Structure formats: C-alpha cells, structure tokens
Structure 1
C-alpha cells in the first residue's frame, strides 16, 4: 500500500513503515505517523481474508474476556489494527491466560458455525450451516471440518487409497467419539497455536490472527497442543475456571486431525504421516 493511500485511510501522514513478522501468510508492517500514532498493517491478499479476520477480532472483543488488537480500518486487501507493543510475561501469565480463555469459551450462540465463512491460514473455512448442522456438533464437525479438508486433499493430490479408507472409517465412528461432550456452542479463536498469541506491554495475553467460529471448546484446546508453546499452568487454570467433561483427552485426536489435514493441504506431504497416525488412532485401524 502506498503512502498516499495510507494517508487517505488514516487521515494523517505516515512517516515510517517497518516490516515485521506477521504469521505465515501476511505482509505486515508497523506504521508510524507524524502525529505519533502507531498502527499495524497487514496486506498481501485480495480475497476478503482480512475483512473476515477483522470480523473475528471484533467477535472476540465483544466477549470482554481477553485483549485482542482493536480493528481500526479494514478492506478487501488490507487490515489496519492498533499496534500493541510486546512486553514480558508476568509470572502468572499462563494462569491468567487459562482463566481468560475459559471466559472466552463461555460466550455462546444459538448454533454452531458463524455468520460467514472465513479462513484458517489461507485455507477457506466453512462456517455457514444448513439443516441439522446448526445444532449437531458431530455433523457440523464432519461436514465443515474433516470432510471439507479431505476433499481439498483429494483436489491437491494427497488423498491416496489409505487416507480415503481411513476417512471413510472415521465417518462411521466420529459421532460416537464426540457424543460424550455435548455442550452449547462456544466462541472459539479457531487457530490457537503458539504463534497466535502475544504478550502486551503489561505482561498480559493478547489473541491475534483468529479463525473464529462457534464450536466445541475442546477444539481450541487441542490446537494449543499441536506445536506446543503453552505452559501446563494454562490448562490447570482453565480446568479450575471451566472444567472439561470426562474423556476430553480421548477426543483430542479428532480435533488435532482438522489442523493436521489443513497443514497437509497448505504445506504438503510432510503432514501426511501425522494425519494417517491420527486416523488410525481414532478408528483403531
């Protein structure tokens, strides 16, 4: 984005633009203005990804449970957020994070999904429900998460006979696996790995880069374990604030599978073996 366009959007002149890390997919910069304001600019896609991200941040902000960057301006090909300075973890950082995440998950809606489809990374994420999906979590999760990713894997050339056979077996047992965990839809970050939180200037947690929808809260917690980066204190504080139903650890592979399949589609066959391992664990094959 050029300086003139930024000046028009911000209503003040930028004096510097510094490139920074912005996750796996976005071109991100910190903008400083002549008036002394700082903003965080994300750009690099023109498919509405950033508008969807803005809506997700606004949904999380409405929970008043945890800090997220304030959306300042958004468009089809850009997102401008408040700039949050990075700080140092408080000694009780993960305990506080766990308590605040529990509060996020206590925000509910009338049904699963979201008012719009959005993205997880650069992959489309299907949230608009039809028929029974709104009130049937296993059906929603199968159709909108696992089956959708499998169809993408077929299209991308990663779905061999072994993967197809195990996916078919999973369809027959998924409802049984998930049935013990019926709960109202919970507000989810949707992509909660270690790169999608930061520490603000006061040492508190901030959620960034969401793939928001209303689903089962165990799905968010499972994602935190895919790559690590979260202390045991988070899970302990979460359980104290909002205990999970028995058997959550047995359901965890089902929720990890969605993200592993997504990584297979995004980054290639290095994730194939992990997907097969999870499927065999779930289907006992």
Structure 2
C-alpha cells in the first residue's frame, strides 16, 4: 500500500516521493487515517479496502467543487488510487484545532453564507450520487424542492430502514407530509456541504477549513439545521451567517424535517438510541399544526 501511495504522489507532482514516516491517527468511523511525511512534505491519507476507491474519488470531486466556489477553504486534493488490497485518498495536511475555541466561528458563518449564495444552479441535486457517512445519497436532478427532499432524502432513508426490517411509519404518508410542509418553499439552490457538524469543520492558521462533504444543490437551511442537531455551533457562527445572509423567518418550521434526514441516516448506520429519537420526531412532524397556522 505504501509503495502505491508513494508512486501516486510522485506521478502527481512529477518528482520522486518516498515515505519516511507514517503515523496512524485516531477517530473516524469508516476510514483509517494517517499522516505521512517525506521529502520535507506532509500529507493526510485516508485508507480503506479496495472497493472504496469510488467513494474517495467522489469525495475528491466534492472537495474540488467546494474549493471552486472560492468561499470556504478545503484541503487540497493531491491524488487517489489503490493497491492490491487498499484504496486511498491523499490530501493536503493541515494542522487543525477546534473552530469554536480558536475564534473562527464568526468568519466561518460568513464564509458559509457566501458559499450558499455562490453559483447559478436552477435545479436541486447533483451530477453524481454520493455518500453521507456510509449511506448512499441519491442526487437525481429535480426542479421541485419539496419533491426532491421528501422523496430522495426522507423517503430514501425510510426505504433503507424498511429493507432492514425497521418500519416506523407508513413511507408514503411521511413523504406526503414532508412534501406538504415544504410545498410553498422554493429556495434558491445552494451548494451545500451536506454533512455539516462539529467534526467536519475546524480552524487552521489561515482560517476555517471544511472537509468530509456530502454535497448537493439544495436549500441552504439544510446545512444550518444540521449545525443545530448534534450540539449547536458557537453563537458567533450564526451571527456571522445572519450578518451575511439572514435566514427566512419560516426556517424554524422546516428545520425538523431537515434534521429528521440526519437522524434517519444515523438510525440506518448505528441503530440503537436513534430509533426512539426518529419515532419521536416523525410523530411530532405528522401531528404539528400546518404552516398557515404559524405566526408570520
């Protein structure tokens, strides 16, 4: 494996590269991670079995797409490839620390808002299906946001659960309820990070850095809703975002269905405690007042 990584880096830069040291890093539920060094250079390397190569290539495409926006900083993609048994993704190595503790929250809030305003896409989805965690995320282009999210996000996750023998709601009924909740909402398609929690953003010496995306073009509120799901970001982050591009007053009405997507995905991935949380969220969504009854 190490020889294949050396060769891929050498081919990328057109100069010989030899690994002098490699250190395994802790953390991560899916991939093994290493820092490698040699020729006075350091790189971050993700490793998995050989069948994982396509996912690494998809991740590289998404990182490059985010970087193309010139709004948020991402690690530079160096190369990807495989050996006889392993697949790997080589990225720029960046020294990182907690975003909140480093004081970069306000700056990142403004950067994320600028990302969400970037581009002129007219439909929702992406050219490629990708993965959120270890779950396939379909991204077929659609012009109708309520249909896209209710079918390709909530309906998809519920169908995956059903195939595992977990049936917590009538799928068609839930799809229709989510569709109705989003029916009158036609947001400008924004390029999303797609998996925006504390573990996928940090602070470097040159500013905030995001990584491990699950990107597609959708409602910007999806990214914000996830930042509030597994422990909200620092308040300065939300201030920075609002100063750059304030959220619609009806965001709070849509937030539960956007957060449900990630809870269903965690239920698919990890099971356990997420079953009762998903059931509770679905029950609340299915029985809440209609949007017309909410104060304007």
TM-score, normalised to structure 2, is: 0.88
Deviation at 1:157, TM superposition (A): 1.9
Deviation at 1:91, TM superposition (A): 6.2
> Are 1:253 and 2:256 an aligned pair?
yes
In the alignment, which of 53, 64, 72 is matched to residue 58 of structure 1? 64
In the alignment, which of 40, 43, 46 is matched to residue 47 of structure 2? 43
Answer whether contact 2:130 2:138 (CA < 8 A) is retained. yes
CA distance in 2, matches of 1:22, 1:68: 19
Deviates more, 1:69-78 or 1:12-21: 69-78
> Are 1:148 and 2:156 an aligned pair?
yes
In the alignment, which of 191, 197, 210 is matched to residue 195 of structure 2? 191
Instruction: Give the unaligned 5+ runs of structure 1.
Output: none
CA RMSD of aligned residues (A): 1.7
Aligned ranges 1:15-164 → 2 under 5 Å? 15-21=20-26, 23-33=28-38, 35-45=39-49, 46-47=51-52, 48-75=54-81, 77-87=87-97, 92-108=103-119, 109-129=121-141, 134-159=142-167, 163-164=168-169
- Residue matched to 1:234: 237
Output one character per residue of 1:12-38: Cα deviation in whole Å (capped at 9) or x when no partner: 0010111113532111100101x1101
Corresponding residue SS for 2:110: helix
Deviation at 1:116, TM superposition (A): 0.5
CA distance in 1, matches of 2:98, 2:163: 44
Aligned ranges 1:167-186 → 2 under 5 Å? 167-186=171-190
Sort the Cα spacing of 1:107 and 1:23 in 2 relative to 1 into closer, same or farther, 3 A.
Answer: farther
- Residue matched to 1:6: 5
TM-score, normalised to structure 1, is: 0.91
Deviates more, 1:84-93 or 1:230-239: 84-93
How many residues in Structure 1 have an aligned counterpart in Structure 2? 274
Output one character per residue of 1:105-163: Cα deviation in whole Å (capped at 9) or x when no partner: 1123231111100100011110123xxxx21001111121111111110111222xxx2
Corresponding residue SS for 1:14: coil
Answer whether contact 1:6 1:13 (CA < 8 A) is retained. no
Instruction: Give the unaligned 5+ runs of structure 2.
Output: 11-16, 289-296
Corresponding residue SS for 2:177: helix
Answer whether contact 1:85 1:200 (CA < 8 A) is retained. yes
Output one character per residue of 1:23-75: Cα deviation in whole Å (capped at 9) or x when no partner: 32111100101x11011100114231111111110110011001100000023
CA distance in 1, matches of 2:124, 2:32: 32
Sort the Cα spacing of 1:85 and 1:8 in 2 relative to 1 into closer, same or farther, 3 A.
Answer: same
Answer whether contact 1:113 1:215 (CA < 8 A) is retained. yes
Sort the Cα spacing of 1:225 and 1:136 in 2 relative to 1 into closer, same or farther, 3 A.
Answer: same
Answer whether contact 1:119 1:125 (CA < 8 A) is retained. yes
Deviation at 1:164, TM superposition (A): 2.2
Corresponding residue SS for 1:157: coil
Aligned ranges 1:194-205 → 2 under 5 Å? 194-202=198-206, 204-205=207-208
